[in-house]
Amino acid sequence: MAPIPPPRVVMFECYSTLIDSRAGWRALFDPMLAGKGAAVDADEFYGEFHRFRQADLTGPFRPFADILRRSLARALEARGLPYAAADGEAAVAAVGGFRPFPEVVPALRRLQGRFRLGILSNIDGAMMAETLRTLEVPFDHLVLSHRVGVYKPDPAIFAAAQQELGCAPADILHVAAGLWSDLRPARAMGWRRVWIDRRGEPDDPQAQPYHRLPDLAGLPELLGV
């Protein structure tokens, strides 16, 4: 793999790129659904929960914890299953305990000190504080939705990141699994892009051009590290 011109800043989507959120949600939903007597596949239920959450992210701004509670309630109700307040609190509490993909921390350690590293995320500060402990590497920039008042893919949070980073768009590399949430708006900003395609999905012309990797293990080599 030929290295690309090095950026000044490498920004990351956190969940689904650095953190294996699908596995974390499945670990929560499996016993929750079983406890409700529901014969529902946790991956299928996660997809429904995720769609409700995406819809809420494009609506009026509300705290991310409230979006999790509301999205879970709607996903359960769509299946004719009861929602209890304890379900929502379990969802909120679970996020900070989600674990990184196995290759993430070694890759971040190779990048540390070579580039400024940052995270652009929809989660709130309390959840992020827990997540950062699992990533083990310090980040120079944290751009979080609750500080900006909008969620990705709103262009305003990318503009806020651009202002904080203080460098030209072409000096920013955004690394993300999310096409709709991250790579399309990053393209509109003029940032360079790496798509972490863990699931073998089709290309997205609205996010191209980008470099495509199956996981984070190849990112240091792509950056010449």
Label each residue of 93-150 as H, E or C: HHHCCCCECCCHHHHHHHHECCEEEEEEECCCHHHHHHHHHHHCCCCCEEEEHHHHCC
Q: What is the pLDDT of residue 164?
A: 95
By the 8 A CB rule, do 64 and 146 touch? Answer: yes
Distance CA 136, CA 159 (A): 27
Instruction: Please give the domain boundaries of the chain with CATH numbers for all domains.
Output: 9-19+99-222 (3.40.50.1000), 21-95 (1.10.150.750)
Encoding tokens for residue 97? 């305990």
**Average of per-residue pLDDT values in the chain:** 95
Secondary structure of residue 155 in the 3-state scheme:
helix
* Residue pLDDT, tens place only, 1-33: 678 999 999 999 999 999 999 999 999 999 999
Q: Is the pLDDT of residue 211 over 80?
A: yes
- Three-state SS string over 13-73 comes to ECECCCECHHHHHHHHHHHHHHHCCCCCCHHHHHHHHHHHHHHHHCCCCCCHHHHHHHHHH
Share of the chain above pLDDT 90, in %: 94
* Residue pLDDT, tens place only, 111-162: 999 999 999 999 999 999 999 999 999 999 999 999 999 999 999 999 999 9
Q: Which residues contact 134 (CB under 8 A, 6 or more apart)?
A: 19, 98, 99, 100
DSSP symbol at 203: P
Q: Which residues contact 30 (CB under 8 A, 6 or more apart)?
A: 42
Q: What is the pLDDT of residue 3?
A: 85
